[in-house]
Chain A
Amino acid sequence: MKRYLTRKLAIYILTFFLAVTIDWVIPRFMPGDPVQTMLSRANLRAEAVEVMRGYYLKAFGLDVPVWRQYLNFWVAVFHGDLGVSVYLFPKPVSRVIMEAVPYSLALLIPATVLSWIAGNKFGAFAARRKWLDNTLLPVGYLLNATPYMWLGILLAWAFGIALGWFPIAGAYGFDRTPSLSLGFILDFLWHWFLPFASLFLVQFGGWAIGMRNMVIYELEADYSQYLEALGTPRGLIRRYAFRNALLPQITGLALQLGVIVAGSVVTEIVFSYPGIGYLILQAIQNQDYFLIQGCFLFIIIGVLLANLVVDIVYIVVDPRTRRGMMGES
């Protein structure tokens, strides 16, 4: 048990280290000079430009050698200090991110959790109904093969523009301020629905197909055949099959997390939904590399944490890993 956990933890730490390093490197190799951008925006006289450049370089910590910048970056990461945003200067990056996070989570968590649950239930259900199986399978494959962006655009066009049922930009109306009033909540849900639906649908297709195939596989497995030969009612055999088919689906969720997050970034952009994804777009357009860095750092930590949670859940639900680990230590 201990050895297993130590190994897992080591992998997480290594991944974190590499990801943070890459996160630090990439913006520095992006074309363009953010300080220059800010200076030219300000339209200053020549002497003033030099003074301001010195000030900005110092403010962003760019006045020290590269290796120091890298070390400083690590120190800052552990202090939760992600620097100052260029584009929303002088707002700290961490503040900007924290304002966007709730929107991202409000999309991501319900879409992922609900699609996983609903997809698994539906897939298992379809596996034993021929007509459903024949209709679900093509639809599921189609949904699952649809890039997030396409489905987002399609939904935005159909229900937003053509039918006009839903708004297609923002998290709430421009004339509203966030509050806990019923009016605001309804308005929020109204804006939330389309991006949620497009995230949900793509994932739902994938889980449903995966579950359907796994349940069929489990029902053909030797243990199911044995139980059937002993006259066990179908209910118990199906219960076992569903339970065992769920295990690879949990692993699948861990493997998919990165893809899902990438999908939600794209979806936020399509619907101008003010979460981390949309923020990344803004940051790139404004060459705000501290902000880009901060957003990616946040995503890295988020995905790693979510993975850890799924790993732990897996250990709890699969006796084989649990017992296997005991034997090892």
Chain B
Amino acid sequence: MALKVEGLRVYYQTLRGDVRALDGASFSVGDGEIMGLAGESGCGKSTLGRSLILLKPPMKYVGGEVLLDGDPLPIWDRERMAPYRYKKVSIIPQQAMNALNPTRKIGRLIRELLEARGVSSRDLLPELKRRLDLVELSHEVLKMYPIELSGGMKQRVVMVISTLLDPSLLIADEVTSALDVSTQKRVAEMLVGFRDHKFVRSMIVITHDISILYQIADSILVMYAGKLAEKGPTEAIVRRPRHPYTQLLISSLPEIGVRHTERRLSGIPGSPPPLLEPPQGCRFRERCPVAFDRCREEPPFEELAPGHLVACWRAHG
């Protein structure tokens, strides 16, 4: 098991109280696995991703454990976490387009970043160039400022930078969202290529676009309002979703060819509950078409079939 997360809780401290953006997450990602993380905007995907690498105020660690390659990750301790960053866990942030210092040439930025982490940039230069070739970027980009690159080029530069030290785990947050459809496909394939070349051991790919995950993910984890709703192999999640929320999500995807093709994601009536003071019981209850009495209690996130977990009373019933 490359990554194992147990009961992870991360809240945002605000003046009005704690925002429970990640309220108890338990899951694991296997060696070489690409796990997709999906769900509506604001459900806590980035919170989960970020807390695994840089947990800092206003984020607050409330509880839970993270094991990476069998070793506990001290995610609650900003200083002790430092040596693991980049070398063990790395991230392609959601705002990758702005992730490069605008006043440094790409090459110099990479050199300074590596030296600051105690890695010889000279030794890594051939590998860096090889990877630039792999993402179809000319070596000239090293002599350019970020402003001279297109959005898609910046995205690929960040992909290369983030994986340069061959981390065990890569968190890729919305890498495809800002790109046009054909570029999306290429970038998604590059991510798979990175895994196949063993640049990264395993990967969490965050997106609200399940069709991308269908292309590249081995498994999919669906979140709803700070909780895990369902996790399973991609085929199972797409063909036989068990959680009502996942079913609605999947049915809104035309390409995958389930019924109700015209229904959009935003077409799920209602909106997620507030995370400041979330309601008791199943958080999907308000919008769930099949809710019943029992849903006033919180459903456990439990295995239905090997590797397929669901948090829903109907599914367990």
Contacts and interface: CB of A to CB of B under 8 A. Distances in A.
Given A240-B104, A319-B103, A320-B145, A232 B98 contact: no
Contacts of B91: 226, 229-230
Nearest to B144: A323
A328 to B, nearest CB: 13
A222 B146 CA distance: 13
Contacts of A229: 50, 53-54, 85, 91, 93
A227 B114 CA distance: 11
Interface string A273-313: 00000000000000000000000000000000000000000
Given A225-B93, A319-B145, A320-B147, A233 B116 contact: yes
Interface residues of A, number: 24
B101 A223 contact: yes
Contact of B116 (A221, A236, A323, A324): A236
A33 interface: no
A323 B148 contact: yes
Contacts, number: 75
A222 B98 contact: yes
Best-surrounded residue of A223, A230, A320 (most CB of chain B within 10 A):
A230
Interface in B81-123: 82-87, 90-91, 93, 95-96, 98-105, 112-113, 116-117
B168 interface: no
Contacts of A319: 103, 105, 145, 147
Nearest to A241: B101
A235 B100 CA distance: 17
Contacts of B252: none
B162 interface: yes
B113 A232 contact: yes
A229 B172 CA distance: 13
A213 interface: no
Contacts of A318: 103
Contacts of A99: none
Nearest to A244: B103
Among A227, A235, A324, residue most surrounded by chain B Cβ atoms (within 10 Å): A227
Contacts of B116: 232-233, 235-236
Interface in B126-170: 145, 147-148, 158, 161-162
B82 A231 contact: yes
Contacts of B100: 223, 226
B104 A230 contact: no
Contact of A244 (B50, B53, B101, B113): B101
Nearest to B94: A222
Nearest to B92: A226
A318 B145 CA distance: 11
Nearest to B88: A231
Contacts of A240: 101, 103-104
A63 interface: no
A228 B54 contact: yes
A243 interface: yes
A226 B103 contact: no
Contacts of A244: 101-103
A226 B83 CA distance: 15
A7 to B, nearest CB: 20
A226 B116 CA distance: 14
Contacts of B147: 319-320, 323-324
B145 A222 contact: no
Contacts of A223: 98-102
Given A229-B50, A320-B147, A323-B147, 6 more contacts: A225-B99, A229-B93, A231-B117, A235-B116, A236-B116, A247-B103
Interface of B: 50, 53-54, 56, 82-87, 90-91, 93, 95-96, 98-105, 112-113, 116-117, 145, 147-148, 158, 161-162
29 contacts: A222-B98, A223-B101, A225-B95, A225-B99, A226-B91, A226-B96, A226-B99, A226-B100, A226-B158, A227-B113, A228-B54, A228-B56, A229-B50, A229-B53, A229-B91, A230-B86, A230-B90, A230-B113, A230-B117, A233-B116, A236-B112, A244-B101, A244-B102, A319-B103, A319-B145, A319-B147, A320-B103, A323-B148, A327-B148
Which 10 A/B pairs are nearest by Cβ-Cβ distance? A231-B85, A222-B98, A226-B99, A222-B95, A230-B86, A229-B54, A223-B101, A236-B116, A231-B86, A231-B82
